[in-house]
Amino acid sequence: MIAYLFPGQGAQAPGFLHRLGGDTPHPAIARTLTEASDILRGDVLQLDTADALTSTIAVQAGLVVAGVAATRALEEEGIEAQAVAGLSVGAYGAAVACGAIAFDDALRLVRLRATLMEEAYPRGYGMLAVLGLNEREIASVIADAHADAYIGNLNAPRQIVVSGSDAALDAVRQLALTRGARKAERLAVSVPSHCVLLEDAAARLAEAAAEVRFAAPRIAYVGNRGARVLYRADAIREDLATNLRFPVRWHDSTIALSERGANVFVEMPPGRTLTQLLSEALPDTDTNAFAVDGAPVSSAAARVRAACQRTLD
């Protein structure tokens, strides 16, 4: 059973849209880039320059485009998933892949989502990844640091991301390291995602999402907040609209996929972080990252087919 994983903000790197599918873009990728440019009314390939990626809007829109382009290309190569999950904004790509929302609607909602987040906190905020402490220990660090910070992502039992102001994150970092954290470093995210600080933005996004048509998913979709399979269109609408306000239980989401029968996981571009997390959480599971620099889509499809064959041997 194949599951697609869609990364969130922080996976981006300059040129990631240009590198999709190698030197000669797959026809499905080329068509998707053109479609996205029409939807956004601008050249989507301008979203992955180093300067552009300082914008939350460019990053989030670009990630959704990359994920959808990859799924379409793999589909034309004969690869289809039976389940999907996306971390944070990656959930929008997952929702498109499972048929819950049209690509154009997803991209417009993501642009609004990123705009609201950027307008709410244009500077002075972000996210901090802490490795080596569990959820209870991180909560204790935040409380003892008297910091205006919040748990945002639970990526692994001992890899947790904290959101807040620069000053709050500095305080959390210093105390976490003294209490045994192996590493504590800022992410390439300039807003305090997945916490109460974005409650107003989530409410406004929910109003916009209420006007968008959603459908029941064709394949399993695992949500961010509850880390469980969502079957109804309205449940996926709520998950997408509010996931910027609530912590992402990513580790639990991947466990839910595995328990459902997923045994071949494919991380959509542009990163490999989700693949690494999954390899640690489920070391006997076959994991593949679509984004292999310079490799054509046919190579990615061949790797997935080989992984599926290994599960049968």
Active site residues: 88, 194
d(CA 129, CA 188): 10
Would you tell me how many other CB atoms lie within 10 Å of the CB of residue 294? Answer: 9
Q: Which amino acid is at 283?
A: P
Q: How far apart (Å, rounded) are the C-alpha atoms in residues 41 and 309?
A: 42
Whether the Cβ atoms of residue 228 and residue 256 lie closer than 8 Å to each other: yes
Terminal-to-terminal C-alpha distance of the chain = 14
Cis omega (within 30 of 0) on the bond before 247? no
CA distance 37 to 31: 10
Strand 2-6 relative to strand 264-267: parallel, antiparallel, unpaired? parallel
**CA 260 to CA 122: how far, in whole Å?**
40
